[in-house]
Structure 1
């Protein structure tokens, strides 16, 4: 069982920065706006407001680096696919995400792709999975908000997620009940 002993915000960056080249491994968290990236990070580390979460989509506007157990950075990326942001802002966020994942300056050891269990993979999620696969990132899919899926729908939703993302490496997660916490920590910290 992996225990988080320390978690601290280090810095937010919007471009090239020395932190990207540090030898400390990085685990990137990516997903649609308001899918719960910051909430998943907070649930994993057991600190309520380490990563700022909001009910308003599009709050994360930079790459936020958190040092976990003095041994790994969790990197909270801006969300994608939020239609109410200005086109200019949405394009800026998209470019930042792509730069982080494709430039080679940062080399995340794993990328956690967070989707909404109830909604299932969106067009944007499937495009992101394709990009991650093309760039040979090791991907862990987190189907967040599993507690909001009706019991009668769970098997159908799980099958749909597996088929649409062509992945078996899926952690079903709830920030409320902490379902999937241990499994996800094992996946990303080992």
Structure 2
């Protein structure tokens, strides 16, 4: 494994940079981005915290659906972990939902952003909802690499979980599907290896249009 890949996989330092609400606020310099998105209350903050092994780095809002900023974290001084605002929260005012959709649409297609991967987090028990598929298609429209992270894999029965993962593979046939548990750490190593493979070759499947 190359030294550069090792440096990326082993998360040694994480620093909050800024919350972004427009192109003028994007941090400099431009570095590779791994962006995390998912429905409100899907456990996105817990996933991010378990990935970087810091309990309170990404904080959940006390009221689901409030977070609207795109939060940038600098990892190992060489790439950005980006926490996108949660979507699909029914009680959020219609005008706020519309503004968020416009904001996400801008970010998904932003030429200034050097996307490496976009990580779609779904509830392993519930599966992908229409709002997940809609946001997934938004990023795929711009040719972004997408990995599906089935969080809360520690819950539910084994047979139900197998069926849930199989369904995700059917719905997202060209994407890497990773079982994940923010509680137990299951899937963490697999996620890091997917984001930073030792060698990129034809077997590295990118979910593109």
Which bin holds the TM-score, normalised by the shorter protein? over 0.9
Q: Quick check: 1:121–1:165 contact (8 Å CA) kept in 2?
A: no
Bigger Cα displacement from structure 2, 79-88 vs 54-63:
54-63
Conserved in 2, the CA contact under 8 Å of 1:26 and 1:109?
yes
Note the 1:46-85 alignment, pairs <5 A: 46-54=53-61, 56-85=63-92
Structure 1 window deviating more from structure 2 (180-189 vs 67-76): it is 180-189
Deviation larger for 72-81 or 21-30: 21-30
Partner of 2:18: 11
Which residue pairs with 2:51 in the alignment?
A: 44
Aligned equivalent of 1:164, options 167, 171, 191: 171
Q: Tell me the residue number matched to 1:101.
A: 108
The change in CA–CA distance for 1:58 and 1:103 in structure 2 (over 3 A counts) is same
Counterpart for residue 32 of structure 1: 39
How many residues align? The count is: 190
Determine whether 1:186 maps to 2:193: yes
Shift of 1:30: 1.2
**Aligned counterpart for 2:151 among listed residues 144, 148, 165:** 144
Contact 1:142 1:173 in 2 (8 A): yes
Partner of 1:87: 94
Which SS does the other structure have where 1:111 is aligned?
strand
Deviates more, 1:159-168 or 1:117-126: 159-168
The CA RMSD over aligned residues, in Å, is 1.7
User: For 2:105 and 2:25, how far apart are their aligned partners in 1?
Assistant: 18
| Partner Cα distance (2:24, 2:114) in 1 | 13
Give the drift of 1:132: 2.2
| Residues 138-173 of structure 1, C-alpha deviations (whole Å, 9 max, x = no match) | 111111111113213122111111112233411110
What is the distance in 2 between the residues matched to 1:59 and 1:173? 25
Cα offset, 1:105, TM superposition: 2.7
Rounded Cα–Cα distance in structure 1 between residues aligned with 2:113 and 2:175: 26
Q: CA deviation at 1:23?
A: 2.7
TM superposition shift of 1:107: 2.8
CA distance in 2, matches of 1:145, 1:59: 22
Distance in 1 between residues matched to 2:25 and 2:64, nearest whole Å: 29
Structure 1, unaligned runs of 5 or more = none
**TM-score with structure 2 setting the length:** 0.84
